[in-house]
Structure 1
């Protein structure tokens, strides 16, 4: 038995060392989580307006179009649980913060990184949870999988490693103010038919199933939004709930019931808190094809600039 255990250890040790080395090299690859944390911790003393939310805000609102000291801290796939946690962690270290713009996607009220079975082909976001734990030091559990990028992300992290170390391509496309340029117009699918044909599937993936779990998450996320509103209210910070524009084919085919429940939840929060205002651009017809990367994301270098200028006029007109 001792000889067997010795043999197992002998063969396991190289694999363990290889895994540790790979994990270490992965953590040296630039990524938006680490960069947004850098902005919060190194630029926090000058932030007056911050943009939060998921990819519709991270790619779709250009902070350079808004008043000075505006930073985009939104991250792709960041839902309400982590929006709230990020603010709770950093808001007291942002002495000049006056405004928060929260970009809200059509599916956001039914999303939660820890839940699955709410959307078509939905699954738990283990990789996303791990990124928050590793790079932003925000965690809701003690699961060892969520302490390792290799264990949580699998094939995704191998592709990222290869992209950085072998192909020498960018793995992080944020500018100095935090706008993520991964969805620049130059990166968009050139064949119009292809990106238009992808919209119906996108809508299907964003439409919540009609089940008890979906309803529970919806109610939980409303409470999380109330918690953020209170956090801002207690510190004299104005909160702007913004629904970004979507492409015509997208907004004409979404589930109307889900859309109205999104509006209802936002109105509930805005009506309760005097520091909260809501702005709806979901069906705004001022945006054209080149403003969109896909059905519900603006192009970072074109649409996001137009949207930023519109928000500057609407929110900061005084």
Structure 2
């Protein structure tokens, strides 16, 4: 069963294979979690070859490990794009966060062969904590008997299944996500520990970019007001201050904030903290335009 399951193409294996085969062609690499996976479509990035290597619940720790693995193969890389909402600066270490937030981390071992410091099902799907015989049987049946693809990524890695006509309740998902983000954050008395941990990872990514002459573009994506209204303003402002500090400290780092951008309206959202396909088209065009200007300025500074 394990062998048959692993032979089924999935989004992890697809992205790892793309990087293995095309890393040297990539000029703009989109990393990060579902905000980039669903929010940025490479088809709208025109000046540079772009690939979306982001995925659902892909923490910056995994981004760093992906960069470490492929940094020598990314010979034409010019820009790294990573989304980060303010609350992410307080998230717990991957090995400490509740299981529901890291159910698929073993897949980075299996399909990317990354050295993730957490024995989470080790190297086997069937031993992972998210394993359910019924789920695995359904996947096997759907793929081998019904010929239903088990991937949702476009050929350039964008998540295609958050369509605006299928959007979820924005008020409900705002409450759910705000509560979830509180659960996976460091407790109030350890917030500085969370800041130090997550900032260090971002700095490690920026320094890899420094070594390669690569610009790192950090941005806070648009989030619907039903979520923002439930998040403490002091934490938000503290986090944005840290992101701006990274921008001013490192010449190759840029931070821009779209967190409360009111030009993104309800139809642009699939749920309270993810864009729909319509919102993704809008944001992709904005980020593409911003990157072209920022990249030109960066190259002038370097040269």
TM-score range, shorter chain: 0.7 to 0.9
Question: Is the 1:114–1:125 Cα contact (8 Å) retained in structure 2?
Answer: no
**Aligned CA-pair RMSD:** 2.2
Task: Summarize the Cα distance change of 1:248–1:151 in structure 2 as closer, same or farther, 3 Å threshold.
Answer: same
1:312 aligned residue: 288
Task: Summarize the Cα distance change of 1:306–1:142 in structure 2 as closer, same or farther, 3 Å threshold.
Answer: closer
User: When the two structures are superposed, what TM-score results if normalisation uses the length of structure 2?
Assistant: 0.87
Q: How many residues align?
A: 287
Quote the offset at 1:103 in angstroms: 1.1
Q: Report the secondary structure of 1:139's partner residue.
A: coil
Whole-Å separation in 2 of the counterparts to 1:160 and 1:187: 26
1:202 aligned residue: 177
Quote the offset at 1:129 in angstroms: 2.3
What is the CA deviation profile of residues 180-224 of structure 1, one whole-angstrom value per residue up to 9, with x for unaligned ones?
1132224433xxxx4422311211111335345554233111011
Question: Is the 1:26–1:157 Cα contact (8 Å) retained in structure 2?
Answer: no
Task: Summarize the Cα distance change of 1:198–1:124 in structure 2 as closer, same or farther, 3 Å threshold.
Answer: closer
1:29 aligned residue: 8
Task: Summarize the Cα distance change of 1:277–1:256 in structure 2 as closer, same or farther, 3 Å threshold.
Answer: same
Task: Summarize the Cα distance change of 1:255–1:148 in structure 2 as closer, same or farther, 3 Å threshold.
Answer: same
Question: Is the 1:62–1:179 Cα contact (8 Å) retained in structure 2?
Answer: yes
Task: Summarize the Cα distance change of 1:143–1:205 in structure 2 as closer, same or farther, 3 Å threshold.
Answer: closer
Whole-Å separation in 2 of the counterparts to 1:186 and 1:157: 32
Aligned counterpart in structure 2 of residue 49 of structure 1, from 7, 23, 28: 28
Quote the offset at 1:144 in angstroms: 7.4
1:6 aligned residue: none
Report the more deviating stretch, 144-153 or 233-242.
144-153
Q: Give the greater-gyration-radius structure (CA).
A: 1
Whole-Å separation in 1 of the counterparts to 2:262 and 2:120: 47
Q: Report the secondary structure of 1:152's partner residue.
A: coil
Quote the offset at 1:143 in angstroms: 3.3
2:247 aligned residue: 270
Quote the offset at 1:258 in angstroms: 2.2
Q: Report the secondary structure of 1:24's partner residue.
A: helix
2:152 matched to 1:177? no
Structure 1 unaligned spans of 5+: 1-21, 117-121
Quote the offset at 1:136 in angstroms: 0.5
User: When the two structures are superposed, what TM-score results if normalisation uses the length of structure 1?
Assistant: 0.83
